[in-house]
Structure 1
Amino acid sequence: MKMVFIIPVYNHPHYLNELMAYLKQFGHDIIIVNDGSNYDTSKILKTLAQGEHVTLIEHAQNMGKGQAVMSGLKQARISGYSHALQLDADGQHCWQDISKFLEAAQKNPSAMVIGQPIFDQSVPKKRLYGRYATHIWVWINTLSLEIKDSMCGFRVYPLDATLKIMDQYTLRPRMGFDSEILVYLKWEGTPFINVPTKVIYPEDGISHFNVWDDNVELTKMHTSLFFGMLARLPKLLRHQIKG
């Protein structure tokens, strides 16, 4: 197993230095994707990229979180890594749980390891209800409850299976990517490991979730996946029976 960290960044300057310092203890290379950030954030990223074992990919303009992650995953393949741990830069994720994700991936190298959020009182209720709606759609579209939370950006990708799907399908470039890629992986028979992890919404946190645009995208995505599920129904039912 050859692991790399992937950090998508769009105007999240508050935790970058602290996060990068924390990641050094694991001894893995880091790919940062600057998704068209402003001057101040880009300046921090350029400084961090001068360190050892850090690769910086820069989008000239904001292309969406999903596209940022895909750029990082493609670079990881080019560089010869087998697995990529994605971690968001907005301070929501519990860095102390990184070792749990790495251990789960080491023990289950063919699996997709995903975070199962444990929220505190800081979570906005509208966002929480929206997540449950997406969970229900994912369970319907996979005919399975195996994916406990499809929207958590704390996860480990097995690169061979993931890049195979990225080569085959045109995936959503924004917030829908996190859920969409998991549905495709499930359809292809990838096993899943859910790792419970605390998730907070910091007071100085910056959210780029656009209530209208992103919800419209998610609705279109779930509808498309539903018809994709119907087309694959015999195959999925066979998997259920074998399971």
Structure 2
Amino acid sequence: MSYCFIIPNYNHIHNFSSFINKLIQYKLPIIVINDGSDTNTELALRTLATEQPSITLLHHQRNLGKGAAVQTGLSYAYQQGFSHALQVDADGQHDLNDIDTFINLSKASPLTLISGTPMYDESIPKHRYFARYITHVWVYIETLSLQVKDSMCGFRVYPLAAYNILSDKVALGNRMDFDTEVLVRLYWQNCPITFVPTKVIYPEDGSSHFRPLEDNIRISWMHTRLFFGMLIRSPALLYKNIKRWLS
């Protein structure tokens, strides 16, 4: 079993160096994907990668979206022979103190995807907090289950073999739709998923790349596809869930 970090980055450079320094203490390779950032950010990332030998820096020539960046990192990690990749967002929202917990759970159950269940403080914008529940309800429908406690948290340990099987079969969303779609489809693929409560904050100086109109349309289309995918899989999903309830 071999682990690495996957860090998608689009114009997140404020405090990024201190963020990386916190990851370095875990003595794991760090794969940073520059998703078409501006010139200043790209230069800063190149400098940081030169100074830190544990960093591999990959580049998208233009911004393709967070989902595309994560997929680039996961595919690269799999090609390099890593068995697992821990995705962490670059914006400082995730509690890095939980990394050991995530990795230890993964080592105890190597085939399982370990995903965070956010515990928010007052820093989360109210509209985002309540909007998440719309996706939660859709995911309950798409899986015919309440097992997926949160599908939107980008703090995860992926078993790369399971992800690679999925990515070879289906084109996944490239932007804010990725986190939810990949989790639902891995659930359909019978990949075990364990959820871990973890603190998530919205830093005062943080920035969001969520595009209300474009991303909401994209997410709505994703849920439409997943809904009809659920209908096709409903007998198997019902059998799976009934079997779990009876066990």
For normalisation by structure 2, the TM-score amounts to: 0.96
Aligned AA (1:39) = T
Q: CA deviation at 1:53?
A: 2.2
Q: CA deviation at 1:242?
A: 2.3
Q: Are residue 114 (structure 1) and residue 115 (structure 2) matched?
A: yes
Offset from partner CA, 1:76-97 (integer Å, 9 cap, x none): 0110000000000001111111
Count residues in correspondence.
Answer: 243
- Tell me the residue number matched to 2:99: 98
- Tell me the residue number matched to 2:21: 21
CA distance in 2, matches of 1:163, 1:150: 19
Q: Are residue 7 (structure 1) and residue 7 (structure 2) matched?
A: yes
CA distance in 2, matches of 1:104, 1:38: 37
SS at match of 1:196: strand
Uncovered stretches (5+) of structure 1, i.e. residues with no partner: none
SS at match of 2:198: strand
Q: CA deviation at 1:15?
A: 2.4
- Tell me the residue number matched to 2:125: 124
Q: CA deviation at 1:194?
A: 0.6
Matches within 5 A, 1:1-243: 1-50=1-50, 51-243=52-244
The percentage of aligned residue pairs carrying the same residue is: 51
Contact 1:116–1:194, Cα closer than 8 Å, also in 2:
yes
Offset from partner CA, 1:190-232 (integer Å, 9 cap, x none): 1111111111111100100011111111111001100000001
Aligned AA (2:153) = C
| CA RMSD after TM alignment | 0.8
CA distance in 2, matches of 1:98, 1:190: 21
Contact 2:106–2:112, Cα closer than 8 Å, also in 1:
yes
Q: CA deviation at 1:182?
A: 0.4
Q: CA deviation at 1:124?
A: 0.6
CA distance in 1, matches of 2:147, 2:112: 12
CA distance in 2, matches of 1:144, 1:110: 20
CA distance in 2, matches of 1:156, 1:48: 24
Offset from partner CA, 1:33-79 (integer Å, 9 cap, x none): 00001122111210121121211100000000000000000100110
Aligned AA (1:150) = S
CA distance in 2, matches of 1:196, 1:77: 27
Q: CA deviation at 1:100?
A: 1.2
SS at match of 1:215: helix
Aligned AA (1:47) = T
Contact 1:15–1:89, Cα closer than 8 Å, also in 2:
no
